[in-house]
Amino acid sequence: MPEYKVVFLPGHITTTINDRETIFDAAVKTGITIKSSCGGAGTCSRCRVIIKNGAIQLNGTGKLTEQELAEGYVLACQAYPRDEIEVEIPASSMLSEHQVLISQDRELEQPPLKIKPLFWKVPLKLSEPSLDNHVDDISRLYTALNQKERLDFPRMGLDVMQKLPRVIREGDWRVTVSLADMKGCIEIVNIEPGWDYSNFYGVALDIGTTTVVAHLVNLETGESLGIEGTYNKQAIFGDDVISRIIYVVEHEKGLQHLQKTIITTVNELIDVLLKDHHISFDDIWYITCAGNTTMTHLLLGIDPEHIRLEPYVPAFNSIIPIKAIELGIKANAKARVYCLPGTASYVGGDITAGAEVIGIERQNKLTLFIDVGTNGEMVLGNSEWLVACACSAGPAFEGGGIMHGMRAMNGAIERITIEPSSLDVHWETIGNRSPVGICGSGLIDCIAALLECGLIDRTGSFKPPAPHPRVRLEDGEKKFILVFAEQSGTGCEITISEADIKNLLRSKAAVFAGIRAMVKLIGMPIEAIEQVYIAGGFGRYINLPDAIKIGMFPDLPLERYRYIGNSSIMGAKMILLSREARDDAEMLAEKITYLELSVGNDFMEEFVAALFIPHTNLELFPGYLAG
Ligand code: FES
């Protein structure tokens, strides 16, 4: 099979691929992160690169314009080398750093956490043997441990057993024992001479489809030392979990690629945190990880294929802790990784984390927890029962499928108002930068404002426009100009089209229909929901009145709502520090009844009814009726 050299500019990064591999594959090999929503299927047109030199074979050109083709643009995933080639990757095709939602914006009142971490060290004084006392070493250790920790015969690996006689004598019968909670049993994972029980740390991880967050925690004191976040490098294999599963299925080494990529992402975050705090990898002893079911499978290198195939059964929902070293995570060789349990293929450990953080299983009030990302996942219930569902909200709230949509990162418009008389647009961007696109919270504001100004009707279609420089018909498509080219950070207009609006309406309809399907299942009216917790990475936080105005969330009094930010990382940290919270999370994940929206319920009917703004049935939105 012929092989060709590929040189990526501007960095002159070089690799070799065969004639059946694409430029996109070459970029993956070198670790260059080119944008992709479709995982190389040739449908998203985000992987634009420029061929500077050399011959290629093209399988398709997607949405490239004639001008782009004339300038040498190709889709990296559709281009096969037929010669040594030089490729330029324009900045607009590189994945850039995300504004990662690393913690909650507002403090939640939670009961004080009793620190009882999943890993801890215990100093012990063992009785010394004599000619009258022949008790073996291990029994002395167990006796001392039982007196101090009330632990009966914890498990002990052969490696610990092998060094036990030397260590206890070296320490003159004083030893420090390291204990790890293995879910259902405790294991002695290390023994050291003398009493040195400082310097042990843990890392809580939130592994999202889009972003990854790591939180470094002192396991002795419970103190938070630092938090870091970045985008999930797996994004080069597709924006959503389905694209990534398809990549695994269709590529021989797809699973290994995806696992290696997430481990690299995690290790880079751990690296930064440890350097900042002058801590060694050897001092990381326990890692907790909250992620959706697909992300957890990919982290562990377990085939996620059946998650997307009916009847949608994952390989596991709950799993015992495993050794970090087996995954290649940089930590002590004996460190363990605990993945928070999930409930189903589309209600994973991240949702368990959020539900645990708000204490939903202890609530007397009927409580709704919603996490909106590429999927809208929600849990409804109280101390007596819990039901959950996942609706395919699509990537619109993360900017996917919207011409100028983007994730919540610097330069994204996150707030918009439009003056009804002049149609002047006022915006706020993340990082106070010149606007380069619009993120989920801005898009919700935008639809509410267009409706309020009478520019669109309740189906999201533009009304016949009065002549105005901001309203335009282009290539048969109606558009509203939010930012003129000279005001934007890209030098191009930022617009919202009718197709964008319809996309957003489908996403908001999916969320609302999911909520309605759950309340209908339990035979309650929607207004019976007494409190709503919203998690997710919309921007800094969502504009609730506008989200209700467009019919995304129920028309409930605003004081019933709370935006809690990244509840996934909060839950992972909470469980790292509390065996009790871990036990609760395991019970919680089992207690939740999963509602599969694709079969035997009213979801589709509800979805269609919710495609209107705010809804076909206006009685569900008394605030809208009242004006
Ligand atoms: S079109 Fe190439 S990655 Fe989507």
Q: Which domains does the chain have, with CATH numbers?
A: 3-93 (3.10.20.30), 119-193 (3.10.20.880), 201-339 (3.30.420.480), 358-395+505-625 (3.30.420), 407-492 (no CATH)
Which H or E run contains 138?
Answer: helix 137-149
Of 22, 34, 38, the one to substitute when testing ligand 1's pocket (max ligand atoms within 8 A of C-beta) is 38
Q: Are 379 and 386 in contact (CB under 8 A)?
A: yes
Question: Which of the pair, 109 or 464, is modelled with greater confidence?
Answer: 464
> Alpha-carbon distance 165 to 160, whole Å?
10
Looking at residue 106, its pLDDT comes to: 45
The sign of the CA dihedral 208, 213, 215, 216 is positive
Dihedral of the alpha carbons of 582, 587, 593, 595, in degrees to the nearest 10: 20
Of 25, 34, 35, 44, the one to substitute when testing ligand 1's pocket (max ligand atoms within 8 A of C-beta) is 44
Fill in the amino acid letter for 113. Answer: L
Looking at residue 84, its pLDDT comes to: 93
Looking at residue 105, its pLDDT comes to: 43
Among 291, 285, 266, which residue's Cα sits nearest to residue 341? 291
In degrees and rounded to multiples of 5, residue 98 shows phi and psi of: -90, 155
* Closest ligand 1 atom to Cα of 238: 3
Q: Are 339 and 319 in contact (CB under 8 A)?
A: yes
Looking at residue 409, its pLDDT comes to: 76
> Alpha-carbon distance 99 to 412, whole Å?
10
Structure tokens at 317: 């929902």
Ligand 1 geometric centre to CA of 500 (Å): 20
C-alpha distances in angstroms, 110 versus 273, 367, 468, 571? 26, 15, 52, 12
Ligand 1 geometric centre to CA of 481 (Å): 27
Ligand 1 pocket residue status of 60, Cβ below 6 Å? no
C-alpha distances in angstroms, 29 versus 95, 96, 100, 251? 16, 18, 26, 14
Which H or E run contains 506?
Answer: helix 498-521
State the average pLDDT over residues 586-597: 95
Ligand 1 pocket residue status of 75, Cβ below 6 Å? yes
Ligand 1 pocket residue status of 380, Cβ below 6 Å? no
Ligand 1 pocket residue status of 51, Cβ below 6 Å? no
* Residue partners of 303: CB distance under 8 A and separation at least 6: 248, 255, 297, 315
Helix (H, G, I), strand (E, B) or coil at 501: helix
Looking at residue 114, its pLDDT comes to: 85
pLDDT digit string, tens, across residues 122-173: 999 999 999 998 999 999 999 999 999 988 889 999 999 999 999 999 999 9
Range with top average pLDDT, 6-20, 54-68, 327-341, 370-384:
327-341
Looking at residue 108, its pLDDT comes to: 56
Ligand 1 pocket residue status of 47, Cβ below 6 Å? yes
* Average pLDDT, rounded, for the chain: 90
Looking at residue 96, its pLDDT comes to: 59
Structure tokens at 430: 């993340």
Cβ neighbour number for residue 157 with a 10 Å cutoff: 12
State the average pLDDT over residues 348-365: 96
- Res 110 pLDDT > 80: no
Residue 143 buriedness (CB in 10 A; 0-12 / 13-18 / 19+) = middle
Ligand 1 geometric centre to CA of 79 (Å): 11
State the average pLDDT over residues 86-100: 71
Strand order in the sheet with 437-438: 425-429, 412-418, 437-438
Ligand 1 pocket residue status of 615, Cβ below 6 Å? no
State the average pLDDT over residues 503-513: 94
Task: Return the minimum-mean-pLDDT range out of 6-20, 506-520, 606-620.
Answer: 6-20
Ligand 1 pocket residue status of 44, Cβ below 6 Å? yes
Dihedral of the alpha carbons of 567, 568, 571, 575, in degrees to the nearest 10: -170
The sign of the CA dihedral 462, 468, 471, 477 is positive
DSSP 464: P
For residue 370, the Cα-to-chain-centroid distance in whole angstroms is: 14
* Residue partners of 568: CB distance under 8 A and separation at least 6: 206, 208, 213, 290, 291, 350, 353, 354, 371, 535
Of 23, 46, 234, the one to substitute when testing ligand 1's pocket (max ligand atoms within 8 A of C-beta) is 46
- Res 335 pLDDT > 50: yes
For residue 411, the Cα-to-chain-centroid distance in whole angstroms is: 21
Which H or E run contains 205?
Answer: strand 201-207
Dihedral of the alpha carbons of 169, 170, 171, 176, in degrees to the nearest 10: -90
Among 604, 614, 618, 626, which residue's Cα sits nearest to residue 520? 604
Ligand 1 geometric centre to CA of 24 (Å): 8
> Could you tell me the pLDDT band of residue 193, with boundaries at 50, 70 and 90?
very high
Q: Are 451 and 550 in contact (CB under 8 A)?
A: yes
Ligand 1 geometric centre to CA of 235 (Å): 11
| Angle ∠(200,204,208) on CA atoms, nearest 5 | 160
- Res 256 pLDDT > 50: yes
Ligand 1 pocket residue status of 40, Cβ below 6 Å? yes
> Alpha-carbon distance 596 to 452, whole Å?
36
The sign of the CA dihedral 594, 599, 604, 606 is negative
In degrees and rounded to multiples of 5, residue 617 shows phi and psi of: -90, 100
Which H or E run contains 452?
Answer: helix 440-452
Task: Return the minimum-mean-pLDDT range out of 259-273, 345-359, 466-480.
Answer: 466-480
Among 221, 161, 154, 151, which residue's Cα sits nearest to residue 191? 161
pTM reported for the whole predicted model: 0.85
Looking at residue 104, its pLDDT comes to: 46
Ligand 1 geometric centre to CA of 522 (Å): 43
Ligand 1 pocket residue status of 48, Cβ below 6 Å? no
Question: Which of the pair, 157 or 31, is modelled with greater confidence?
Answer: 157
Task: Return the minimum-mean-pLDDT range out of 230-234, 308-312, 347-351, 436-440.
Answer: 230-234
Structure tokens at 322: 């495993």
Ligand 1 geometric centre to CA of 80 (Å): 14
Q: Are 444 and 546 in contact (CB under 8 A)?
A: yes
* Closest ligand 1 atom to Cα of 36: 3
Looking at residue 102, its pLDDT comes to: 53
Question: Which of the pair, 215 or 240, is modelled with greater confidence?
Answer: 215
pLDDT digit string, tens, across residues 368-423: 999 987 778 999 999 999 999 998 877 788 777 788 888 777 788 999 999 999 99
> Alpha-carbon distance 456 to 478, whole Å?
11
In degrees and rounded to multiples of 5, residue 369 shows phi and psi of: -115, 125
- Res 112 pLDDT > 70: no
Which H or E run contains 531?
Answer: strand 531-536
Q: Are 42 and 60 in contact (CB under 8 A)?
A: yes
Residue 219 buriedness (CB in 10 A; 0-12 / 13-18 / 19+) = buried
Ligand 1 geometric centre to CA of 86 (Å): 19
- Res 336 pLDDT > 90: yes
Give the residue carrying structure tokens 């694209």: 243
Ligand 1 geometric centre to CA of 440 (Å): 22
Ligand 1 geometric centre to CA of 206 (Å): 27
Strand order in the sheet with 376-381: 561-565, 531-536, 367-372, 376-381, 386-391, 593-594
Range with top average pLDDT, 99-103, 232-236, 361-365:
361-365
State the average pLDDT over residues 413-438: 91
Ligand 1 geometric centre to CA of 236 (Å): 9
Give the residue carrying structure tokens 């009916």: 310
* Residue partners of 11: CB distance under 8 A and separation at least 6: none
Among 379, 392, 390, 391, which residue's Cα sits nearest to residue 592? 379
